[in-house]
Amino acid sequence: MIAEPLGDQTILVIQRGEGVTADPLGIPAADERTTAQPGCSVQPKYSTEVIADTDFTRTVWVVYAPPTPLILALKAIDEIGYLGERYAVHGDPTPWTGEDGAVDHVRFHLRRSRG
């Protein structure tokens, strides 16, 4: 099955996992593998700001992506690169099926917090 593009945006999927090397304290280093995924639609969902003792912002985006093996393997520990920023995958990616029962696309959220 060839996945139809849902948009003209490309995201960078940053898959993270424990590596075989460790830091001086024995904590395993995180290995990262970055792969481009074209054919996505990335849309802003909302942004919040808290101004108190410290300024804090949270921005959330929604991504519609083709159901490629790369996207179907996404986990909450992974990150996404988009427009020069890194975002956390927020929650579990949700596969959406078509009338034939095959996965049509995958929807997931990105989150970035600053402050």
Output the CA torsion sign for 57, 58, 64, 68.
Answer: positive
Every domain of the chain and the residues it spans: 9-114
Residue-wise pLDDT for 72-102, tens only, equals: 999 888 999 999 999 999 989 999 998 999 9
* DSSP class of 80: E
CATH number assigned to the domain with residue range 9-114, chosen from the 4 options 2.40.10, 1.10.1740, 1.20.58, 1.10.10: 2.40.10
Please state whether the predicted TM-score (pTM) of the whole model is above 0.75. yes
**Which pLDDT score is estimated for 15?**
92
**Which pLDDT score is estimated for 17?**
76
Structure tokens at 109: 């959220």
Residue-wise pLDDT for 41-81, tens only, equals: 999 998 887 777 777 788 899 999 999 999 999 988 899 99
Q: How many CB atoms lie within 10 A of CB 13?
A: 21
